[in-house]
Structure 1
């Protein structure tokens, strides 16, 4: 029985060893398969009560493990390469999709970044020279603007009208800017468009009568073309009755004194028909000139008169025109006659003088001022602010002596008659 078990155990050992050799050949196919007769002999172990396993050589086991690990590494590397390739393809697709989406959004919305108007104004202002008006040298606004006409039409076209007006007024001289602002009062520069501002500046700083040689030549050529002659000339009058920030000159006439607004842009001196009687209503003759305003409208003249006028203690003979409009202008004709351009303005604008006037004439001219009656003011309303939750207090009349009662009653009747007091029948 023991011998049978031993033969059975030896057969098992032999089968296990053959299987191990086959596995070794499968792991390393380059080696030839040995014949069973070439297998090394083995020694049968003596029978034991427990079956013992045949140990596998360590070199073969390590080779199997390394080979398996290399296979797994190659497999993992292939999978990793596939994942990286897919990731790159997905990123490329996402980038292409983003670019397509942005192109579609940009083309549909047409986004444009608006330029900064202040930066454009600052850059363009450096190319424009400041304007200074000199009528004697033919430096008018029209001549100055013609130099930058293309700049305002093309380069400044990206700006709105309000920015164009700001750029144009920025390049005006201090005196010219002040004169234009005073000219358009009570309106502001922003109330006009760019085209309107250009037209107003051309009229305000244009040719003046007697100073511009080109204007004389054009008028001379016009006279040659015409077959008839014109006896009256056209002058420009600044029809602006705004008193704010204006200078007034006291002018003494034979019949009285009036204050005229200093306006060197007006070629003639004009007073209104309303103030004509205050200087004695001198005899009027037909006007020898035709007056026009800066806007080109005709200024109707009632007539003109000649008299001696006094300014700053100087007297000269002058021609004064009278109009229906409410104008009180001291023009350049009197400025040149009295040589006011060579003296400080305060010497003749701040002087206060008075002509000898009798008291009777003042009483006749201002009867209400010299009336002995009590006056009544209609210009303002007076409002009395009383304290809240206050009750009126009854005060009995003051005792009056018997001898003074008639005089008190007469005074009360007089005050009631002139509407200073009013009687009441009861008290609250």
Structure 2
């Protein structure tokens, strides 16, 4: 330590240069971590924000250009740092201070690791949004300086990859069977594997399930005209999850905003309407995978389902899709009724709600479900299709070896049917 103090005139000017290089290294290391650690939602928010936020979103959109520039500057700074450190250590050794030279070399190495890499990256993870905004302008300038040489650097990288690793190929598309085998090989317990496989199947089924199957159909929710008043809340029932707001037009039925009751704790007349969320519009023939993608892209949690005439026939929420993924037996009827829509009243005999989907009914009866060519989705829809009129108590319908009989009609379109195995004589007649 005394030797270092005695030789301060030798190493101090160089130490100032090393300090500047450490700051520069920390700047690029922290900038890289902060921008690449931003989530998609945060980047979408930045793309609509202030100029500095838009710069961050633009840099993240061209990740190859950003990463190439950051790595180039980091490499140049680190090489300069160790070159200056080596010169200072040599001068100390030439002055007969080998111990001081060794101490300075080790100290400079630890300094750039700690203050040039570890500390900046750690802070950038915690304060990524603030740091990304702070570094946006200088980082964009440093990348713009390298724009003439970045294509050449990328070509060199591509050439080296093709020279030394010519057989690297893009992985083929993973099929559901491959994913299932990966779950089976995970080494988890049988119970965990069963749940993982079920969730995996639910995720893959999103591309097959139409939004019409998962939506809350019109008539199962109340709608109000904007702006909502506190006295309107007296019409809400205990089963209400969302408050649907229509546009202010006299004859308008188009859904404009939705309020989630789960997000309300305290409110007033003025704040109640401010808590409403915007709605996107999707066609009834869309699948849940497409709707989920739109939710993510447009930062929205609610969709109005419209038919071919542009009329609203139901709503679907982001939470409904998550329930479809995570629930062992996903059912939109259970979400609406707050109970199981298929109840076994005695052995082999079930009471089925009309809004129950045929997909859920097949799963409940442990049968394979195939999408029908006629587009039938629900039990009530099947009665309407086969009877060609509004079902009444006593109407009977045969379906996949079962017989359904309407035992209750609560109101227009809402019915309860009793399902039981089809009598042997009826099945033989149907085969003839």
Give the TM interval when normalised to the shorter protein. Answer: under 0.3
TM-score of the superposed pair, with normalisation by structure 1: 0.18
User: Which structure has greater helix proportion?
Assistant: 2
The structure whose Rg is larger is 1
